[in-house]
C-alpha cells in the first residue's frame, strides 16, 4: 500500500514558478513509476508528466514541454514537479499517481491533489 500526499500548490502570477511535491509513504516508492495529472474546472483530468522508477525516463504533455520538469528522490520517497513560466491555463488541481508500467494508462495509487492558481 502506498499513500501519496501532494503539496506546494498556491497562487502565483503568470510567468512565475512553483514546485510541487508528492510524498509517498511506505518502503516501495522506488519500484513505482510516478505521474502528474491535472484537472481544471469543467475539464477532464489530463496527463502532465511521468518519470520512471529509476528516474532515467521522463515524459511530458506537449502543453508543458520546456516549462515543467519532473524529478524524484527515491531516498526521500518524494517526486517533484518544477513549473516555470506558468500561464493562466495551467490553473488546475494537480494530482500525483503511481503505477507499475511506464506509459501505460493504469494507475495504482492517487493523491488527494493540490490547487495551483495562476493569475493573469
> Using one digit for the tens of pLDDT, what is the confidence trace for 12-45?
999 999 999 999 997 689 999 999 999 999 999 9
112's CB contacts (< 8 A; 6+ apart) are 5, 6, 95
Considering only 30-39, 43-52, 82-91, 101-110, which range has the smallest mean pLDDT? 101-110
49 in Cβ contact with 36 (< 8 Å): yes
Amino acid at each position: 500500500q502506498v499513500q501519496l500526499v501532494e503539496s506546494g500548490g498556491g497562487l502565483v502570477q503568470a510567468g512565475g514558478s512553483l514546485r510541487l511535491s508528492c510524498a509517498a509513504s511506505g518502503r516501495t516508492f522506488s519500484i513505482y513509476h510516478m505521474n502528474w495529472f491535472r484537472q481544471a474546472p469543467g475539464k477532464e483530468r489530463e496527463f502532465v508528466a511521468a518519470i520512471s522508477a529509476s528516474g532515467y525516463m521522463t515524459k511530458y504533455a506537449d502543453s508543458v514541454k520546456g516549462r515543467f520538469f519532473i524529478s524524484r528522490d527515491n531516498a526521500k520517497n518524494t517526486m517533484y514537479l518544477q513549473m516555470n513560466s506558468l500561464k493562466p491555463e495551467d490553473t488546475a488541481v494537480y494530482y500525483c499517481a503511481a503505477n507499475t508500467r511506464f506509459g501505460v494508462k493504469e494507475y495504482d495509487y492517487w493523491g488527494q491533489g493540490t490547487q495551483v492558481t495562476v493569475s493573469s
